[in-house]
A and B are shown apart, each in its own frame.
Chain A
Amino acid sequence: MALPQRKTDIGPPHYKQFLPPVIQKNYGDWKYHEVLTPGSMVHVAESGDKLWTVRMASPRILSTDTIREICALAEKYCDGYLRFTSRNNVEFLVSDEKKVAPLMKELKDQKRTVGGIGPMISNVVHTQGWVHCHSACTDASGLVKSMMDELHDYFTTKELPNKVRLAVACCVNMCGAVHCSDIAIVAVHTKMPEINHDNFKNMCEMPTVIGACPTRAISPDPAKKSVKINPDKCMYCGNCFTVCPPISIKNPERDGVAIVVGGKVSSLRSNPKFSKLVIPYISNEPPRWPKVVAAVKHIVDVYAKNAKKHERVGEWIERIGWERFFSLTGIDFTFQSIDDFTFMRDTMRTASTFKW
């Protein structure tokens, strides 16, 4: 069959055609909502109309057949209307109250994971990892699966003082939300890159490579028509590799992950915060990364036990002080947690007010 005529610059389809009738009717006229269970909520419009939402976990990587199964559920219970959330969960949009319980039951029978609403651990924002990215120094999907198997109860039933947002990035490009999450994993290299000097002049732009280095560790090497890297300045970010293929930095034995905590993006109570480095290095241990999982679980447990209601991880830590965070969690404090980059002067303690 002949191909249809291609079109350009049409943009996405207008969202309105995908809104269920109850939303079309009550668009912008919602009065309040209530969380009914960790996996369901109801929105009530000024008109009195109601919309039930049932939220289901997704591994984000979906086969087309699974998408079709999700479609079949939406057809059976939601007249075919559904959406995805900004954390990649599936939401079934139910207009008929009578269909909510049967949908929940069928999801349970199909062993699907329902939850993620309220003061819980919702889905993990993550990246491509070894599945698709050239600069990955860990696998994002495997880490997420391992973490969420362990933390599953916090998605489905167990409440925390507030939401705990988790994220994984497979290199320091930090695609996604690692820099602003309650607890997050970022994969790191820990060794200087190597340069294939013969290929450099054919494949790379020298000014771009020099400009790519945050610590100005790269300088020209005219004899080789290439560049050299100062080992005292390089902190293995890999950004030179991003702009120059003959620079290689992957190292299976030295690549690993770091854990950062205390970030948030909402402005509730306190301003948005960056997440901060607390564990500088854990080796890659596929397929289950047991030490990473144990560390995340441990931080969640200590937070759950100590934080006040409504406090996010970062708010709790700022109230008790970072020295108390380290003593409560028993995490070793290392040189790596002391900033020696751009923000150093703002991160030192310029007061004698601290706890023993």
Chain B
Amino acid sequence: MKKYNTPLLDDLEKGPWPSFVTEMKKAGKKNEMANDAVGHLEKCYSTKKGYWKHGGIVGVLGYGGGVIGRYSELGEEFPGVAHFHTVRLNQPSGWFYTSKVLREICDIWDKYGSGLTNVHGSTGDLVLLGCRTEALEPLFAEYSSRGWDLGGSGSDMRTPSCCVGPGRCEWANYNTLEACYQITQEFQDELHRPMFAYKSKIKFAGCACDCVASAARADFSVIGTWKGDIKIDQKEVKNYANKMDINAEIVDMCPTKCMSYNGKELKINNSECNRCMHCITRMTKALRPSGERGVTICMGSKAPIVVGSLLSWVIVPFMKMEPPYTEFKAFVRKCWEWWDDNAKPRERIGEVIEAKGMRSFLEAIGVPPQPQQIREPRKDPFIFYTDEDIARFKAKEAEEKKTGKYKF
């Protein structure tokens, strides 16, 4: 194995935070690809420039996504990274593992790849970092025969992910882990065979804390919520009062100012609560959501390219989210169909909704306009009307003339 002099990277082995260089060298001790990846990276550090060639189209038979092809411009100098493809393995919901299956994943990867991983990629996949093209089919055979499938890449449904949910959280309003699993299974075809204008991501968060950052990182942000009252355990409130200034830290920080505390009793005007979670997260023993549970579906978030970053906005204020998730599945299909009909190449669904207008989108998916969908009404008067809209307004006025009562 080639010995590389790596003074710049060596510096990143010092210090208390776990070192990725140590990880790369550790893999490099017994793997030529990883060893060359270290030398290759040192070169990047010394010249302040990356050396990966543009793109790379590789994969496994039957699938159009799941593998990110990568070739180095310096393949002769660093033969171990001449091919250095990434394989995305679909993670289990909530990133729960047993040591037994992780060891099995490692053994297969050591046999075919660099021995380097990312645990995990930002979308959620277990990322196997660096292998040659000819290794792809055999490693896919080994993984799939043991129950592991590839994740998504390209213009497909990307691998869905979810928060820890009811597995270990008292705030989960629905079964994020099961929803994530069932939806991933339902749309296997859409995940493995890119058929869209661009990528489409779904993330499942159990409450508005949004521990998978669905609001910012998914075309479909499925956020748990409830319709009942927040249950208050006044005895526990008193315990909190011993160590916390409830008025300063809870009541005054409530965004809707719907709480009060007189030193004895905490009150919440639940009809004015917007379920932001602040009070619940700070007094987890005293406060619990109750009543009907479901999700708010927000859509559209994405990174800046091309029209600027978007955060997801409310499309469906409330939907029940229970197996077999029939309503949600139908909803996703309708959204994709409209997107497919209207998108230009490489246009995310949020960009298309912005370009075509909410009305076009909402009518296509059969969701009525609701004030919960907006932060504020439009301020300009550049309004579209259809003949049917005007006919409906006129009919209402005719009705009012008859009854003598205005209906706004």
Point out the residues of chain A lying under 8 angstroms from B129, CB to CB: 61, 131-132
B172→A59 contact, CB < 8 A: no
Chain B residues 253 to 275 lying within 8 A of chain A, measured CB to CB, are 253-255, 274-275
Give 4 A-B pairs besides A53-B168, A149-B14 with Cβ atoms closer than 8 angstroms.
Answer: A12-B90, A125-B122, A144-B17, A288-B12
CB-CB contacts of B96-133 with A at 8 A, as 1s and 0s? 11111111011001100001111110100000011000
Partner of A267, one of B140, B276, B345: B276
B23→A66 contact, CB < 8 A: yes
B346→A208 contact, CB < 8 A: yes
A71→B99 contact, CB < 8 A: yes
Point out the residues of chain B lying under 8 angstroms from A211, CB to CB: 306, 344-346
Chain A residues 58 to 83 lying within 8 A of chain B, measured CB to CB, are 58-68, 70-72, 74-75, 80-83
A8→B63 contact, CB < 8 A: yes
Partner of B140, one of A6, A31, A63, A65: A6
Does A145 touch B at the CB level, under 8 Å?
A: yes
Point out the residues of chain B lying under 8 angstroms from A212, CB to CB: 306, 346
Chain B residues 127 to 158 lying within 8 A of chain A, measured CB to CB, are 129-130, 137-138, 140-142, 144-149
A121 to B37, CA, bound (A): 30
A112 to B16, CA, bound (A): 9
Does A272 touch B at the CB level, under 8 Å?
A: yes
A10 to B143, CA, bound (A): 11
Partner of B52, one of A134, A152, A208, A255: A134
Q: Which residue of A lies closest to B298 (CB)?
A: A272
A68→B103 contact, CB < 8 A: yes
CB-CB contacts of A136-147 with B at 8 A, as 1s and 0s? 110101101110
User: From residue B128, how far is it (CB to closest CB) to chain A in Å?
Assistant: 10
Q: Number of contacts between A and B (CB, 8 Å)?
A: 372
A134 to B69, CA, bound (A): 10
Partner of B97, one of A14, A83, A272: A83
A5 to B94, CA, bound (A): 28
Sample (19) of A-B pairs whose CB atoms are under 8 Å apart: A8-B62, A12-B93, A12-B184, A15-B181, A18-B92, A27-B167, A34-B284, A57-B17, A63-B24, A63-B34, A68-B102, A71-B99, A71-B102, A131-B41, A139-B41, A145-B20, A176-B122, A309-B248, A310-B253
Q: Which residue of B lies closest to A17 (CB)?
A: B98
A125 to B213, CA, bound (A): 11
A137 to B49, CA, bound (A): 7
**A167-175, A299-307, A322-330 - interface stretch:** A167-175
Chain A residues 1 to 54 lying within 8 A of chain B, measured CB to CB, are 3-15, 17-19, 23, 27-34, 43, 51, 53
B170→A268 contact, CB < 8 A: no
Point out the residues of chain A lying under 8 angstroms from B46, CB to CB: 286
User: From residue B275, how far is it (CB to closest CB) to chain A in Å?
Assistant: 8
Point out the residues of chain B lying under 8 angstroms from A5, CB to CB: 141, 145
Q: Could you tell me which A residues sit within 8 Å of B by CB distance?
A: 3-15, 17-19, 23, 27-34, 43, 51, 53, 57-68, 70-72, 74-75, 80-86, 88, 93, 112-113, 125, 127-134, 136-137, 139, 141-142, 144-146, 148-149, 152, 155, 172-180, 208, 211-214, 237, 239, 241-243, 245, 250, 252-253, 255, 263, 265-270, 272, 274, 284, 286-288, 309-310, 341-343
Q: Which residue of B lies closest to A274 (CB)?
A: B309
Does B188 touch A at the CB level, under 8 Å?
A: yes
* Interface core residue of B11, B20, B51, B52 (most chain A CB under 10 Å): B20
Partner of A7, one of B138, B145, B276: B145
Point out the residues of chain A lying under 8 angstroms from B285, CB to CB: 31-32
* Interface core residue of A33, A62, A144 (most chain B CB under 10 Å): A62
Does B50 touch A at the CB level, under 8 Å?
A: yes
User: From residue A51, how far is it (CB to closest CB) to chain B in Å?
Assistant: 6
If A83-B95, A132-B52, A245-B54 touch, whether A286 touches B276 (CB-CB below 8 Å) is: no
A268→B149 contact, CB < 8 A: no
B12→A174 contact, CB < 8 A: no
Point out the residues of chain A lying under 8 angstroms from B53, CB to CB: 134, 245
CB-CB contacts of B205-220 with A at 8 A, as 1s and 0s? 0001111111111000
If A239-B305, A272-B311 touch, whether A15 touches B93 (CB-CB below 8 Å) is: yes
User: From residue B202, how far is it (CB to closest CB) to chain A in Å?
Assistant: 14
Partner of A265, one of B93, B216, B303: B216
B309→A179 contact, CB < 8 A: yes
By Cβ-Cβ distance, the 10 closest A-B pairs, closest first, are: A149-B15, A28-B166, A71-B99, A4-B145, A245-B54, A130-B44, A180-B216, A148-B17, A63-B27, A64-B106
If A177-B216, A214-B307, A269-B255 touch, whether A6 touches B50 (CB-CB below 8 Å) is: no
A58 to B304, CA, bound (A): 28
Partner of A61, one of B94, B116, B209, B210: B116
If A82-B97, A250-B50 touch, whether A174 touches B164 (CB-CB below 8 Å) is: no
User: From residue B124, how far is it (CB to closest CB) to chain A in Å?
Assistant: 8
Chain B residues 191 to 249 lying within 8 A of chain A, measured CB to CB, are 191-192, 208-217, 248-249
B144→A62 contact, CB < 8 A: no
Q: Which residue of B lies closest to A208 (CB)?
A: B345
Does B404 touch A at the CB level, under 8 Å?
A: no
Point out the residues of chain A lying under 8 angstroms from B297, CB to CB: none
Does B400 touch A at the CB level, under 8 Å?
A: no
